Chain A
């Protein structure tokens, strides 16, 4: 059985990397004694697949993870809806499972399904008004070429097509802020790269991913979980460190 989980990354723990989070999950699955399916081979690995990496230091309302359960070891009456309560206590403060749903075994991987992400960015280096002007100018441009680096290779790319939307929002802790939807296909546009494209010396202070979208057949964006996914309320005792 394949199950998809949605989880958060808030507070101090946001300074851990994507790989760090993967290791926390592996330990959490073992602590919760979940009957994960294992790959075959010399060093069997649990079948877990993560979605798009979140930049180190960014917070998130919506991270996703798929796990494959071993049918032979899974009880007949196993209920995925019990997973958030079982897993959240095994994870560090700030990482909480907020929704869960079974997905079809043949479904595409998260990495392939996601087409865009929505972000909220608090920035410094500009006033709110200046930020508004920079956004309007950028959206009006036909092309926005920036130099960006990936795997040690620098390339000049037009990132304008990857900006699905961008709009100023209410300031966060006194910092000017914007919300944006950035494409992840064919290539991911990162929040830091959007700020580079805005130019004007805008620097990020806070980055939060609020949604990851997949494009459904009718072209409308939707969450990579079925509409009837079990929403788990956040644990009331969760202390928000920052």
Chain B
């Protein structure tokens, strides 16, 4: 097996009152599509924030290519792209193109190169036609894809998405699933945190389950873990409850 990109090693983050995440261990390998599932409050967001060193762990640590993520914050944050849950509070640009350029500007990339990469990324994610729009006027699904474009433009190794399907209608969800899927097929490593696995479980290559106490209780193939989802407070996908092995709309 090749070396992992990320190694999460006995990571704990204790909030006052016993909440938080406790003794989390797993590795992330190139090209994986990891689904991080757990009920609300299980610590998915907390765990994800640790991945690019936005929080300090109470104990344990995370290594990126064998070195602590805190060793080179710029490299860590460039390598691990983070798409947060709330679309409105992560958009910083006045137009779609500026929003996508933001990360590259922070890396002090020359202006001509920024223009080129922004155009490439926008067409990759099907947002070219909205280039000059004010992001505030976009739909929920478009905002989510814009947030992905803003990360993608920095060429991250891993893209982490926190509850990407929250508040999206069915067509927007489908579109987003297709986008994420296409990125993964192109070799992009993906981690999706969600409390509802319905949309993506059949596409993921690996399923991690956090229980409501913040412990990592399962790590395995999605198909093999379908049956125990309910036990940890995660809704079992419809197709599985009805006895299919794959969702009818995908076969």
Are A and B part of the same complex?
A: no
Instruction: List A residues at the B interface (Cβ < 8 Å).
Output: none
Instruction: List B residues at the A interface (Cβ < 8 Å).
Output: none
